[in-house]
Amino acid sequence: MMGPKQEAQAALCYEFSLEDHVPQDHLLRSIDRFVDLSNIRQHLADFYSHTGRPSVDPELLIRMLLVGYCLGIRSERRLCEEVHLNLAYRLFCRLDLDDPVPDHSTFSKNRHGRFRESDLLRHLFETTVARCIADGLVSGQRFAADASLIEADANKQNSTSKEEWDHSTINPDDAPRAVREYLDVLDDAAFGAATTVKPKFTSHSDPTSQWTAARKGPAFFAYSTNYLIDTDHAVIVDVEASRSILSAEVGASRTMLDRVKKRFDLQPERLIADTAYGSGKNLGWLVKHGINPHIPVIDKAGRTDGTWSRADFEWDADNNQYICPEGEALKQFRRNYSDPNRGPTGKGVAKYQALKLTCQACPSKPKCCPNADARKITREEHEDARQVARDIAKTKQYDISIKLRKKVEMLFAHLKRILGLGRLRLRGPCGANDEFLLAATAQNLRKLAKIFPAPQQTRKA
């Protein structure tokens, strides 16, 4: 027998509880246990006026942003619609059924104003990291660093070639916000001062973004998000935005290590990274700071013609010389100079050479220097640190580190595929930094929720 037709009937009274209608195992319930916004109002107190109309609660805005980044809702306009309709989102944001949802324009107003002035999103991220440390997810022994390209909100059709681009002609008073930010970071090591090489194209809408073809495909404008993670549980301990070039990314890793040391008093025993971080200068910086570089060395000293390379020569540090396989010495200086300007400077590249008469009479000359009168070897300023990295690469711990490095790459895959951050919505270095901080905060919160799931309640019979 067919039942009666279902028709909606308005009731005079409703007894409705959000708690009863949101599942206990919902992701946002698990995340909510680790969101600490207790001091957010105190952090922002100096950036609000003491008079005028009351503002939207900043905690509500932050909770809504966390919903968007945790669940991959990229548009703030759509986020407001989803929070208005979804019961779980309302519960997480502390909104009752009849509470209004802020307009999407409120986010832009606060982001470009008090949120950036107070560095609130950095504060929120570091609060989450502190929670991970308190819960024992960060030992601080083994860190891994890497960078990933995120496409900028810019395209080639609205750009200028390097021959025609001249930033000195820009009037900051009439320029858009992203262009003004570009002018502000021209001397920043992570952006304008990262290299003297001009990009092939510069975007008009977001000139700080880097024109790059690093993916071996069509070039595009991009920023780099730099992660520093603790490999125990793949917790992101710091994040930094930079230009998409190696020098800026390597510099960002050092910036993050310094900041983590200052903020959380964490200095790793080792840093794990790929070959892009294996320059002599970077390895020297790590060794100087007591960090073992588990990093492949960028080494171009090998030879392809079958003759002896620099690795076949033994370094004698006590006498500042190389010893060839035949037992002869290659020295930088054959006598002491009374003029200190003619002696070794300790900078750049030092050259070591054997005696011409010795090489001409050597039976191994065809294997050593068949096309030269005497063998010469160059030694870089940070060669000692490079040798430390080479020695580490021969250990079993290095093989373990190579496997652990995949954890940071998995975080980037999660960032782009699950959280949907394959392309930025915001422009300028500040916009990129905001998005990267919120995404890293969301990833850490999801990590906490996964490792410490919410306790399940038994259903009533």
Lowest mean pLDDT of 8-22, 288-302, 324-338, 437-451, name the range: 8-22
- Say if residues 411 and 227 touch (Cβ distance below 8 Å): yes
Which tokens sit at 36?
Answer: 């600490």
Work out the mean pLDDT of the chain and round it to a whole number: 88
Average pLDDT over residues 264-290: 94
Average pLDDT over residues 323-347: 68
> Does residue 380 or residue 27 have the better pLDDT?
27
DSSP H helices in 139-279: 177-184, 246-264
Q: Which domains does the chain have, with CATH numbers?
A: 18-118 (no CATH), 139-296+393-440 (3.30.420.10), 310-338+346-390 (no CATH)
- Say if residues 234 and 408 touch (Cβ distance below 8 Å): yes
At 61, the amino acid letter reads: L
Return the axis-axis angle of helices 428-451 and 58-70, rounded to nearest 10°. Answer: 70
Residues paired with residue 321 on neighbouring β-strands, in sequence order: 316, 331
Which residues does 45 contact at the CB level (< 8 Å), separation at least 6?
A: none
What pLDDT does residue 343 have? 46
What pLDDT does residue 378 have? 83
User: What percentage of the chain carries pLDDT values higher than 90?
Assistant: 54
Average pLDDT over residues 19-42: 89
461, pLDDT greater than 50: no
Which residues does 156 contact at the CB level (< 8 Å), separation at least 6?
A: 201, 211, 219, 220, 221
Distance CA(137)–CA(135), nearest Å, equals: 6
210, pLDDT greater than 50: yes
Q: Pick from 138, 130, 144, 137: which is nearest to 291 by CA?
A: 144
Confidence band for 4, pLDDT divided at 50, 70 and 90: low
- In three-state secondary structure terms, 241 is strand
394, pLDDT greater than 50: yes
> Does residue 336 or residue 122 have the better pLDDT?
122
DSSP H helices in 242-300: 246-264, 280-288
What pLDDT does residue 299 have? 80
Which tokens sit at 357?
Answer: 């008469």
Average pLDDT over residues 21-46: 89
Give the tens place of pLDDT for each residue, 66-121: 999 999 998 999 999 999 999 999 999 999 888 899 999 988 888 888 888 889 99
The pTM score is: 0.87
- Burial code of 199-228, b = ≥16 C-beta within 10 A, e = fewer? bebbbebbbbbbbbeeeeeeebbbbbbbbb
Which tokens sit at 427?
Answer: 């422009």
Distance CA(17)–CA(441), nearest Å, equals: 29
Distance CA(68)–CA(129), nearest Å, equals: 20
Q: Where do we find the tokens 């703030």?
A: 76
Average pLDDT over residues 254-279: 95
Confidence band for 301, pLDDT divided at 50, 70 and 90: confident
Average pLDDT over residues 245-272: 95
User: What percentage of the chain carries pLDDT values higher than 70?
Assistant: 93
- Say if residues 241 and 436 touch (Cβ distance below 8 Å): yes
* DSSP string computed for 286-329: HHHTT-EEES--------SSSS--GGGSEEETTTTEEE-TTS-E
Query: Would you call 189 exposed, middle or buried from its count of C-beta atoms within 10 A (0-12, 13-18, 19+)?
Result: middle
Residues paired with residue 145 on neighbouring β-strands, in sequence order: 228
| Consecutive H or E run containing 159 | strand 159-161
347, pLDDT greater than 60: no
Give the tens place of pLDDT for each residue, 403-432: 999 999 999 999 999 999 999 999 999 999
Residue 416 — φ and ψ, nearest 5°? -85, -40
Lowest mean pLDDT of 65-79, 191-205, 211-225, 302-316, name the range: 302-316
